[in-house]
Amino acid sequence: MPFNPELCRNESEVESKLIVQYLLPQLGYTPNTWHQEVAIGSIRLDFLAFAAQVIPFVLDANSPLSVVIEAKHPKQNLNNHVPRLRHYLTSLNVRYGLLTNGKEIRIYEKLQTDIKLVFKCSSKEVETQLETIKCLIGRYSLKEGQLVDQPEVQITEKNSNFEIKRKHSMKTIAIYHNKGGVGKTTVAVNLAAALRKKGKKVLLIDIDSQANTTFATGLIKFQFDEDDDLREQNVSCLLESSDFNFIPEIMRQSHYFNNPEIDVVPSHINLIDKQDTLNKIAVSKSRLISKLKTVETDYDIVIIDTPPSRDYYAEVALIASDYLIIPSDLKPFANQGLPTVKNFLKQINEFRVLIGKQPINIIGVLSSKISTNAKFLQYTFPRQRSVISDRYDLPLMEAVIYDRTSLSECMNNTITIGDLEYPDPKSVIKYAESKANAQQSAMEFEMLAKEVLEEIGVS
């Protein structure tokens, strides 16, 4: 299948669409022979691929022949990144390095203390040059003889200071826009449900004091203040100390909202009262990272619903997340808020660098709460979509979530017990099992889930 360079509009898309979806499979690398976001001491690699796996793993002169792959933004000049690639290859004793910005592909080979360029082509030529690339850095070309897949690598701390985020390691996605009313909660809860339907283990975190996700997943069952069982056990508890209140103690299972169930860390209106106190504790902004690390083997994906603001809780969510989805109805006020979102992300990324995290990956702006009016879709909607990339220089997701009555119906579903009527919300995925009018919305969220999994490199 030919590769289309136009798909790569930012660094994240170079990684996901050129490297993960195209190059690595074409070169014969299987999921257990390549790793993303690898940290070795002070060196951080985008990708490290191996001809074979060995157990235990040690990166030294006897390691299986390997390839470092570095992805850059399409607007970046690759010449500026050659010295850093030289440092990586010579310091780690790795034989080959591939450097790309989505428009150009270069391969360098290590020669003792230096590297030399051995191949170069434009990404438009990659299909015709694929055999040459395979001969240089294809998995089966790096090592003579038939290779046998080995079990997944085991990391031994005593042998090397080596950290790997595997392709299937837990991914954390923030759903954020500083404009309210754009469908953030609807996207967060139903994307979680769609991912759960695809067999992924999902944790849903509500870090908005409005607690809309907590309500939408059916965790607010109380009618009176004295029955409030979330006041002392909610997301703010995770941020109060690093020594107690861990996710398994705080999270609730949303049994009736979706099938299979979803684990939810609830929110509460008292987040407002706690914000000033927590904000004065500098280390509290990164506590969610450490709390998530303790459950990274329990979940495939974490989704965080954020407040529509630039407050402390929004900072915490974006600092802890690997990826970002920006839901937007694409109307003028939502669009005018996008530069503010970008400026906020710049501040967030500065803090992330200080704590040793890569900048957050923007999956894209998600068109949500979109009218189904035929004339609107024919004339206005295409113009609204083009503005996102043309004027605001942000990636635009392919999925579209339309404004359908079934989405509000499933959220506002109720159940009567005795004389009292209790909220009994359902995900649109579950609601569609018995309501034909919800099937179109359910399909839209399943398509969204598919796109998200492709973007974050989870199969």
What are the pLDDT tens digits along the chain (459 aa)? 567 888 888 988 899 889 988 899 889 887 777 888 888 877 888 988 887 654 444 555 455 578 999 999 999 999 999 999 999 998 888 889 999 999 999 999 998 889 999 999 998 899 889 888 988 898 877 754 333 333 333 333 333 344 444 444 899 999 999 999 999 999 999 999 999 999 999 999 999 999 999 999 988 766 666 667 687 889 999 999 888 889 999 999 987 899 888 999 999 989 999 999 999 887 899 999 999 999 988 999 999 999 999 999 999 999 999 999 999 999 999 999 999 999 999 999 999 988 888 899 999 999 999 999 999 999 999 999 999 989 999 999 999 999 999 998 998 887 777 777 777 899 999 999 998 999 999 999 999 999 999 999 887
Cis (ω within 30 of 0) for the bond into 423? Answer: no
Residue with tokens 């953030």: 184
The CATH number of domain 171-456, selected from 3.40.1130.10, 3.30.70.360, 3.20.20.80, 3.40.50.300? 3.40.50.300
- Ordered by start, the domain boundaries in the chain are 5-165, 171-456
**Alpha carbon distance 434, 432 (integer Å):** 5
The answer to whether the CB of 400 falls within 8 A of the CB of 370 is yes
Q: Residue 210 burial by CB count (10 A; 0-12/13-18/19+): exposed, middle or buried?
A: middle
Which tokens is 282 given? 């500098």
Query: Which helix H or strand E contains 38, and what residues bound it?
Result: strand 34-40
Q: If we measure between CA atoms, which residue out of 87, 97, 83, 103 comes closest to residue 10?
A: 103
**Alpha carbon distance 419, 112 (integer Å):** 81
Those residues whose C-beta lies under 8 Å from the C-beta of residue 146, and which sit 6 or more positions away, are none
Q: What is the pLDDT of residue 160?
A: 39
Q: What is the pLDDT of residue 315?
A: 97
Q: What is the pLDDT of residue 64?
A: 56
pTM of the model: 0.65
Query: Which helix H or strand E contains 369, and what residues bound it?
Result: strand 361-370
pLDDT per position as a tens digit, 262-281 = 999 999 989 999 999 999 88
The CA-atom distances, in angstroms, between 329 and each of 97, 335, 371 are 42, 8, 9
**Alpha carbon distance 53, 65 (integer Å):** 10
DSSP classification of residue 75: T
The answer to whether the CB of 16 falls within 8 A of the CB of 456 is yes
Those residues whose C-beta lies under 8 Å from the C-beta of residue 17, and which sit 6 or more positions away, are 7, 8
Q: Which amino acid is at 284?
A: S
φ/ψ of 396, rounded to 5, equals -115, 125
CATH fold of 5-165: tt1808, chain A (3.90.1570)
